[in-house]
């Protein structure tokens, strides 16, 4: 019983954080789809391990599921939009590639403070 209380509480807090980020990801995805007038934008978000060097940070990724580059002006607007929301752009790749096994879509990875 003690194990269940101790570890059940940690699990519950993880679930609450995951649900909060799922809602934020869906909200951001909707905002980006509206701003770019495209339904092929996918947003995912999560958080780093509680005992790691980035314990107070979350992370995310915006992916354009399309088989071409994003227009350069749209790409710049996307990064500005993310930064205006307080998200720090960590890496980006505005190209599409298919190596026969996998598709590599344009994406922007970001981090944020929790």
Question: What pLDDT was estimated at residue 47?
Answer: 86
| Strand stretches in 1-114, DSSP E | 41-47, 57-64, 88-93, 97-98, 103-104, 107-113
Q: Is 75 helix (H, G, I), strand (E, B) or coil?
A: helix
The model's pTM is 0.79
In eight-state DSSP terms, residue 69 is: P
Q: Is 53 helix (H, G, I), strand (E, B) or coil?
A: coil
Task: Please check whether residue 31 is in contact with residue 87, taking contact to mean a CB–CB distance below 8 angstroms.
Answer: no
Question: What pLDDT was estimated at residue 12?
Answer: 53
And the tokens for 41?
């934008």
Count how many Cα atoms sit within 13 Å of the Cα of residue 51 in the half-sphere of its side chain: 0
Question: What pLDDT was estimated at residue 50?
Answer: 78
Please provide the size of the chain in residues: 114
Confidence of residue 6 (pLDDT cuts 50, 70, 90): very low
Question: What pLDDT was estimated at residue 103?
Answer: 94
> What is the CB neighbour count within 10 angstroms for residue 73?
8
């Amino acid at each position: 019983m003690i194990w269940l209380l101790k570890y059940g509480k940690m699990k519950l807090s993880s679930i609450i954080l995951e649900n909060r980020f799922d809602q934020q990801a869906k909200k951001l995805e909707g905002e980006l789809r509206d701003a770019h007038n495209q339904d092929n934008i996918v947003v995912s978000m999560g958080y780093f391990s509680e005992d790691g060097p980035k314990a107070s940070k979350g992370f995310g990724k915006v992916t354009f599921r399309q088989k071409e580059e994003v227009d350069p002006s749209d790409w710049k607007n996307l990064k500005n939009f993310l930064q205006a929301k307080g998200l720090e752009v960590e890496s980006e790749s505005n190209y599409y590639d298919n190596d026969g096994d996998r598709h590599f879509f344009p994406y922007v990875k970001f981090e944020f403070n929790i």
